[in-house]
Amino acid sequence: MNDRYQTLTSLPAVLRGGDYNPDQWLDRPDILEQDIRLMHEAGVNTATLGVFSWTAYERADGEYDFAWLKERMDALYAAGICTELATPSGAKPNWLAKANPEIRRVQVDGRRDKQGRRHNHCYSSPVYRRKVAQLLERLCDAVGDHPGLIAWHLSNELGGACHCPLCAERFRTWLRRRYHNDIDEVNKAWWTGFWSHIYTDFDQIDPPFDNGEQSVNGLLLDWRRFTTWNAADYLDTEIEVLRRRTPNIPLTTNFMSYYPGFDYHVLAQKLDFVSWDAYPQWGEPGHDDTDVAIRTAFEHALIRGCKPGRPFLLMECTPSLVNWHAYNKLKRPGVNRLAGLQAVACGADGVQYFQWRAGRGGVEQFHGAVVGHDGRSDHRVFRDVTALNEDLGRLAGVCGSYTQAGAALLFDWDSRWALEDAWGFQKQDKKLRECAVRLYAGLNRHGVDVEVLGPEAGWETYPLVVLPMLYLTKPGFAQRLDAYVRSGGVAVATYMLGYVGPTTLAHLGGFPGEGLKDLFGVTAREIDTLYPQDQNAAIWGDGANTPIVDYCELLELADDTEVLARYADDFYEGTPAVTRRAVGRGAAYYIGARLDAVGDERVLCRALRDAGLPDELLPDGIEYHCRRNGTERWHFYLNTAEKPRRVRLPAGVEALTGRPVGGEEELSALGAAVVREGR
Ligand code: GLA
Ligand code: ZN
């Protein structure tokens, strides 16, 4: 772990706080004073300042005022509260946008935004970059050496893409570099002979406007890669100033869970630690909160895995409700606590809220906040937050430790994008996330925590690796996977493995391409997409029958491939649906159809045994996570069910209560136990 991250972990505490906008209350010193008092009462130890404060810092071009910020940071620090300082580039001042139309984003329909809202500037604009850099220099002059400053929060929820002429030109320049200035290399990579879309000059290439080029998959994928690159390049403008001026302060930015817009594996490389904003829809009709919980756990793992080996920060969540769902339901009693503990269980070193205090106006006036418009501390939400903060206070020792995963799950943004943009299969929603969450959940039910990694990361250290719908594969991957399995690794892949290469061209010679079919001993000759009302079934070796929906691949097997299940129905009745092939000291499983949880379970159970991992199931609704620090392990058992559950705990000390435990215990509905073992 580098020194900068230690600035943060040297605070011997889980970070507890949230977005705080004192600049909206500067005419109310009584409220500012009340904030400090209430933060103290709630056990807050950090505040995120300045997220949207650009105009409060710079009301007119070059006229800066950081006095209010310094005063607030001083007052917070005096009360034992540190500051994560945002760079305010997430929203631009009116005066700047009026004077410089180029900084306003051009949307996918080709229209330039009017000024308003937020997160809608052009990442390419030299004016924007220059103005941000100038501001950051002055911000560093003002508070760069403030003792309360513990982290920089870069911009806020970076997102979206600009399609302006500047961005289009940068896209072409990026393509020229990538394709050695050779337009025919582009034509080959993108298969542009299709529909006569051959380019004869780079100048003919435009971003994929929604009424423009939408039929060249390679272009769509490269545009998404460029968009990530351009946002990262923009971030460099901020990073250059902050690294130079405050070399010891760690940098992060808040990611947005399963956000499609950027490759977070790439953006994370710019950061000292990652953080994200979690807004799961608890209590959504038709969805069990156990499912919501495990999907959130997967997302924690997805973000954590962007910076393997390092804890992350839950930058935002709501203490009660949001304002942007169609129906804004309150978090029921107990949910906030469980969700906060879950974040820490999954590797977070902090749980912070949007927002500390509700503003009086603007569209977020009725968004949940720790302190509401009544300014009181004797209501449910404030008390819930305070109680969770007390719990988090008891988990201080967990800071700096990392998830101890038993298995890896491979997730790749390029592959996701290529799959989502592909025409075919279920055209609108291929359900990659569901597929990944299902496998993640299946492993978790066995008490196996899962690390979500990109295919380029070091997944070989895990005895088991799962590959949900890894549709796009890059050169060298198959050889790595092959070597891994031969030396004892266990791989579990699903349908749609290795259909296309890095520029979305279909692999020739059968799927999965690139040697993967030899490893799995499987060739997917065809894929049948089922209508939502249709079902097939898998018939297993022991005669059991489990449902299949959505996808059925028609598989051809190598001689030494074992059939685990066959199709029950349709013209491919009796042909293989799920297989296993013993390879070297390991095994390669192939799931050719979308099974239900019971079907997945049958595969995972055997794969876990092959990998030497536990194959015993936890009680329904119990989620398990583990963090490790040297010889010390922190086992988290979360009861996401609405009923009490009995669970067998390892021997150790239950950290929330200080009790020695070991053996069976009952966890109340939405209850949790955190067992510290081996101190
Ligand atoms: C996002 C933003 C916050 C706020 C919340 C509301 O996460 O970062 O500024 O708008 O959503 O839920
Ligand atoms: Zn632009």
The alpha carbon of 574 and the centre of ligand 1 are apart by a number of angstroms equal to 51
Higher pLDDT, 13 or 449: 449
To test ligand 1's pocket by mutation, which of 322, 328, 364, 366 has the most ligand atoms within 8 angstroms of CB?
364
Q: Mean of the pLDDT values across residues 607-617? A: 94
The alpha carbon of 123 and the centre of ligand 2 are apart by a number of angstroms equal to 6
CA–CA distances in Å: residue 271 to residues 267, 337, 352, 413 = 7, 28, 19, 18
CA distance 572 to 47: 60
509: which 2 tokens? 């010679």
Return the ligand 1 atom nearest residue 156 CA. 8
Contacts of 609 (CB under 8 A, 6+ apart): 615
Is residue 523 over pLDDT 70? yes
The alpha carbon of 4 and the centre of ligand 1 are apart by a number of angstroms equal to 26
Is residue 679 over pLDDT 80? no
From atom 7 of ligand 1, which residue's Cα is the shortest distance away? 277
Ligand 1 contact, 277 CB (< 6 A): yes
List, for residues 98-120, the tens digit of each pLDDT value. 999 999 999 999 999 999 999 99
Is residue 2 over pLDDT 60? no
From atom 3 of ligand 1, which residue's Cα is the shortest distance away? 354
Instruction: Considering every ligand atom shown, identify the ligand nearest to the alpha carbon of residue 51 and give its number.
Output: 1
Instruction: Considering every ligand atom shown, identify the ligand nearest to the alpha carbon of residue 124 and give its number.
Output: 2
By the 10 Å C-beta count (0-12 exposed, 13-18 middle, 19+ buried), 61 is classed as exposed
Ligand 1 contact, 316 CB (< 6 A): yes
Return the ligand 1 atom nearest residue 279 CA. 12
Is residue 590 over pLDDT 70? yes
Q: Identify the active-site residue in 102, 157, 238, 514.
A: 157
CA distance 363 to 365: 6
Instruction: Considering every ligand atom shown, identify the ligand nearest to the alpha carbon of residue 18 and give its number.
Output: 1
From atom 4 of ligand 1, which residue's Cα is the shortest distance away? 354
The alpha carbon of 251 and the centre of ligand 1 are apart by a number of angstroms equal to 19
Residue 615's pLDDT band (boundaries 50, 70, 90)? confident
The alpha carbon of 670 and the centre of ligand 2 are apart by a number of angstroms equal to 46
Of 408, 466, 468, 467, the closest CA to residue 432 belongs to 468
Work out whether strand 82-86 and strand 46-49 pair parallel, antiparallel, or are unpaired: parallel
Return the ligand 1 atom nearest residue 316 CA. 7
CA distance 633 to 651: 11
Q: Contact at 8 Å (CB) between 130 and 92?
A: no
Is residue 1 over pLDDT 60? no
pLDDT for the residue numbered 7:
58
Active site residue 316: yes
Is residue 4 over pLDDT 90? no
The alpha carbon of 143 and the centre of ligand 1 are apart by a number of angstroms equal to 25
Residue with token string 């060298």? 476
- Would you list the DSSP string of 58-108? EEETTEE--HHHHHHHHHHHHTT-EEEEEPSTTS--HHHHHH-GGGBPB-T
The alpha carbon of 249 and the centre of ligand 1 are apart by a number of angstroms equal to 24
pLDDT for the residue numbered 9:
60
Instruction: Considering every ligand atom shown, identify the ligand nearest to the alpha carbon of residue 164 and give its number.
Output: 2
Q: Contact at 8 Å (CB) between 316 and 350?
A: no
List, for residues 510-521, the tens digit of each pLDDT value. 999 999 999 999
CA distance 282 to 325: 11
List, for residues 124-182, the tens digit of each pLDDT value. 999 999 999 999 999 999 999 999 999 999 999 999 999 999 999 999 999 999 999 99
Return the ligand 1 atom nearest residue 322 CA. 12
The alpha carbon of 633 and the centre of ligand 1 are apart by a number of angstroms equal to 34
Instruction: Considering every ligand atom shown, identify the ligand nearest to the alpha carbon of residue 108 and give its number.
Output: 2
**What letter would DSSP give residue 505?**
P
**What's phi and psi for 597, nearest 5 deg?**
-60, -35
With residue 555 as reference, give the H or E element that holds it: strand 545-557
Q: Mean of the pLDDT values across residues 587-598? A: 98
List, for residues 427-461, the tens digit of each pLDDT value. 889 999 999 999 999 999 999 999 999 999 999 99
pLDDT for the residue numbered 3:
62
Ligand 1 contact, 354 CB (< 6 A): yes
From atom 12 of ligand 1, which residue's Cα is the shortest distance away? 322
Determine which of 207-216, 282-291, 386-395 has the lowest per-residue pLDDT on average. Answer: 282-291
List, for residues 466-494, the tens digit of each pLDDT value. 999 999 999 999 999 999 999 999 999 99
Q: Contact at 8 Å (CB) between 579 and 592?
A: yes
pLDDT over 90 for what percent of the chain? 96
Q: Identify the active-site residue in 316, 514, 553, 623.
A: 316
Q: Mean of the pLDDT values across residues 240-265? A: 97
Q: Mean of the pLDDT values across residues 231-245? A: 98
From atom 2 of ligand 1, which residue's Cα is the shortest distance away? 157
Which residue stretches of 179-288 are H helix? 183-190, 217-245, 264-268
Ligand 1 contact, 367 CB (< 6 A): yes
Q: Taking the CB of residue 140, how many other CB atoms lie within 10 A of it?
A: 20
To test ligand 1's pocket by mutation, which of 54, 117, 282, 354 has the most ligand atoms within 8 angstroms of CB?
354
Which residue stretches of 360-468 are H helix? 380-393, 413-421, 432-444
pLDDT for the residue numbered 8:
67
CA distance 548 to 268: 37
Q: Mean of the pLDDT values across residues 51-68? A: 98
Return the ligand 1 atom nearest residue 318 CA. 12
Residue 11's pLDDT band (boundaries 50, 70, 90)? low
